[in-house]
Structure 1
Amino acid sequence: MLTKAPKQVPTPNSDFYDFAETLNRNDRAILQKVRTFMESKVAPIINKYWVEDAFPFEVLPAFKELSIGGLGYEGYGCAGGSQLLVGLVGIEMARVDVSIATFFGVHSHLAMGSIALDGSEEQKQKWLPPMARLEKIGCFGLTEPLVGSGTGGGLTTTAKREGDTWVLNGQKRWIGNAPWCDISIIWARDVDDNQVKGFIVENKTTSGFSVEKMQNKIALKVVQNGQITLKDVRVSESNRLQGGNSFRDTARVLRGTRYYVGWEATGCQMGAYEHALKYAQERLQFGKPIGSFQMIQDLLAKMLANIVACQCMVVRTAQLADEGKLTDQQAALSKAFTTAKARETVSWARELLGGNGIIADYNVARFFADAEALYSYEGTYQMQNLIVGKAITGFSAFI
């Protein structure tokens, strides 16, 4: 039985070294606005939607009012801001729910990022403003049913040019937002030059484009993932990303989003830790709060140490990104380390709650499950380590 502890205790705070205070006043106000939205609009309803494997469309009007679409990108109606702000906003979202952070990351960083980095001036003018206002929602179609880690050289989705039109055929899998969004960024292999190219596909008006919602997931259940089928889908040359002409251009988008997962993984840990700490302060056993027991305090301190280590890494990664110095291997190490630590931290949180740790009502189970998806998407732990290994040894261990 949960009861209030008999004495005043500190409010759970996972920003132990006050990283949010490194932002300027305006950015702190944006961060606070996001925190208020997540705690007042998302937190009270998210467990229900997670259990039901559904997306809370009811929060989108308030989400739009945050005016953070295109965060980190300048111009075209985008919110702009530093990479540190981008990351701390990601943390604030993931601290309450990783799925909402993923929805935003797919739309604002992957879909909008593809257009911002690889699109023509005309494409930026057409698509980025409505996407920044969340009037148009996007997804990012790279992963395929039979191609995950090998997307760099093994895409089976094809693109064939016929005059001013491209014909796309193939399938994409695990595509977040796909079942309901407005546009898809589809990456396909040009059959003529064997290079990967990007295309903007308007989902609801394009013949031959269909999406099947993926069912029975155990992680990121709020994110609606889809399997996209493209059957003789015709896309005009004007909807081909003019700067997306090889996988190097795709990787340029992924570099930023890969380390954004590090922020999500850190926020996931923070949410699990804060719920576990609050539980430890309130749960009574043997006549006193379990938070007063040595083994529980040791567990909480280890969780917090993991969080602080990850915060230090992602903050430095953001600084390098803002300076234009971030490398693929630095982004890869950040993603690998933070997601591995996330698995450890959320498992300790689940352990602390005992049997209640597997019930969604207590929140920790949601973070525990969602950490598994973070560990795998945007490149597996092992693939990230091989990117780092190649950089530090000079030898490629890829097949």
Structure 2
Amino acid sequence: MAENFWEELGTKFKTAYEEAEKKRKADFAMIKNLPGILSYLKDLQGEELLLLLDQARKIKKRKNPKFPEINGDFYNTFDLLNAEEKAIVLRVREFMNTEVAPIVDDYWMRGEFPFHIVEKFKALNICGLTYSKDLGGQERSNLLEGMIGQEIARVDVSTCTFFGVHSGLAMNSIYLCGSEEQKKTFIPEMIKMNKIGAFALTEPEVGSAASMGLKTTCKRQGDTWVINGEKKWIGNATFADYIIVWAKDVEDHQVKGFIVDRVTAGLETEKIEDKMALRIVQNALIRLKDVKVPEERRLQNANTFKDTARVLKTTRAGVAWQAVGCARGAYEHTLKYTMDRRQFGRPISGFQMTQDLLSQMLSQLTAMQTLVSRLSQMQDEGLMSDEQASLAKVFCTVGCRAITSMSRELMGANGILISNKVARFLGDAEALYSYEGTKQINSLVVGRAITGQSAFT
């Protein structure tokens, strides 16, 4: 113990001596050059001296600049909300910054879900905002709901996906396709988040072909339906109370939806472990073997895949907002990094190539924000079409990939560290790019609308 003490003390003395010697030599060099400097200054004319002083001030400002506030909302889309709506968004921002941001990297690395935040989520009262008040909703705008999605994803896309699967896919399935009795039975408790939902459409061998190719089947036997098959990539499924299962009726070959309790006999969930994106989201492989569901749990207004598509249209718009939030989080973290990172004696934010990339990122982000803001306005007016939702999903997820890639580029090797945030956004952007309809499928939806010809096979 004593030997270590004297060794550490000796090291500190040596370091202090070396630093003092270095400073002494620098001071001596400056004093030695002082006559030459003074002689040079003496020969300068007034304007030349002023120019020299101006250059010196610029160099000082470059080395120690005063940075403006970081703001990823360059066109002030936040101002489209009224004062009450802004207060709700700011409350969500505070929650994400204080409750989620400090823990998200750790949970993301471990691939675990922070269940303790669900109780705190309840207190935000942001679930089912657009629903009617008689069901526990608030009858607020889709624009507000989109802004909230952006705010959540700005900190963590996994948390936003958990919330979107529950409040968007699962709840919307009941809201849009359920009977009035089913809505009154299930939605109020889901709005309170006392019951959590999941949405099971995708299968191990069926993704984009879900409209025609579902292999999970349902067969009616009296007042009971028997479901058999498998589902994959089902978010929240390992812990959800209700799973909305979509299956093809063996009699009429049409897609139907069911509200299934996760603990139903014959239903098994297996967590998918080896993911590079959305690691906090508890995606599962679901096996259904002779799962019996009563007729009263069949979504009474879901009789074909067109009804399923109504749900997907609204959530597709939500994923576009998620992509905006992911891109905004990456941009803002990167901008802050360039202000802190110093090379050649000054912040890299002052370098031309850095500013060029930052401008590219911001222009793409701003285009995405203005697009989804208008999309939500049309949704509030009842004018949003399938192809408009698909275009937003395509444009925003492609832009999100581009922005997160540029973020990693600007950070150099530090960009692959989870602690610097951008690597997490980069990985999560890949999931956003694929779910709720791939870029290619959504492009075909848009192509069909603008050409009048279907390229689907």
Measured in 1, the distance between the counterparts of 2:88 and 2:238 equals 30
Instruction: Give 1:273's aligned residue.
Output: 331
Counterpart pick for 2:94 among 31, 36, 49: 36
**2:69 and 2:238 mapped to 1: Cα distance?**
39
Residue 13 (1) aligns with residue 71 (2)? yes
Name the residue aligned to 1:252. 310
Q: Using the TM superposition, give the Cα deviation of residue 333 of structure 1 relative to its aligned residue in structure 2, in angstroms.
A: 0.6
Residue pairs, 1:220-299, within 5 angstroms: 220-299=278-357
- Map residues 9-88 of structure 1 onto 2, 5 A cutoff: 9-75=67-133, 76-88=135-147
Task: Note the C-alpha offset of 1:8.
Answer: 3.0
Structure 1: how far apart are the matches of 2:365 and 2:423? 18
How far apart are residue 7 of structure 1 and its match?
A: 3.9
The alignment partner of 1:173 has SS state of strand
Q: 2:82 and 2:400 mapped to 1: Cα distance?
A: 28
Equivalent in the alignment of 1:196: 255
Structure 1 unmatched ranges of 5 or more: none
Q: Please say if 1:306 is aligned against 2:380.
A: no
Q: Where in structure 2 are the equivalents of 1:242-391 lying within 5 Å? A: 242-391=300-449
- RCO comparison, higher one (Cα < 8 Å, 6+): 1
Quote the Cα distance in structure 1 between the aligned partners of 2:435 and 2:172: 17
Answer yes or no: is the 8 Å Cα contact 1:67–1:79 preserved in 2: no
> Deviation of residue 394 (structure 1)?
1.1
1:183 is the counterpart of 2:183: no
Cα distance in 2, alignment partners of residues 228 and 289 from structure 1: 50
Q: Contact conserved, 1:68 with 1:78, CA < 8 A, in 2? A: no
Distance 1:294 1:146 in 2: 48
Q: Is the 8 A contact 1:71 1:86 kept in 2?
A: yes
**Mapping of residues 61-210 of structure 1, within 5 Å:** 61-75=119-133, 76-204=135-263, 206-210=264-268
The 1-side partners of 2:154 and 2:257 are apart by 32
CA distance in 1, matches of 2:114, 2:331: 24
The whole-number CA distance in structure 1 between the counterparts of 2:139 and 2:66 is 41
Contact 1:139/1:178 (CA < 8 Å) preserved in 2? Answer: yes
Structure 1 Cα separation of the partners of residues 210 and 125 of structure 2: 33
Tell whether the 8 Å contact from 1:17 to 1:308 is kept in structure 2 after alignment.
yes
Q: Structure 1, residues 186-238: CA drift from partner, whole Å, max 9, x if none?
A: 0000111111000000112x100110000110001111100111100000000
Equivalent residue of 2:252, what SS? coil
Contact 1:183/1:200, CA 8 A, preserved across alignment: yes
Q: Tell me, what secondary structure is at the counterpart of 1:108?
A: helix
Three-state SS of the structure 2 residue aligned to 1:243 is: coil
Larger radius of gyration, structure 1 or 2? Answer: 2
**SS of structure 2 residue aligned to 1:65:** helix
Aligned residue type for 1:332: S
Question: What code does the residue aligned with 2:365 have?
Answer: I
Structure 1: how far apart are the matches of 2:242 and 2:119? 19
Q: Which amino acid aligns with 1:38?
A: M
Q: Which has the higher helix share?
A: 2
**DSSP 3-state at the match of 1:41:** helix
The 8 Å contact of residues 79 and 132 in structure 1, kept in 2 or not, is answered as no
Segments of 5+ residues of structure 2 without an aligned counterpart are 1-62
Q: Conserved in 2, the CA contact under 8 Å of 1:188 and 1:196?
A: yes
Q: TM-score, normalised by structure 1?
A: 0.98
Equivalent pairs counted in the alignment come to 394
Q: Percent identity?
A: 55
- CA distance in 2 between counterparts of 1:71 and 1:371 reads 26
Aligned-pair CA distance for 1:77: 1.1
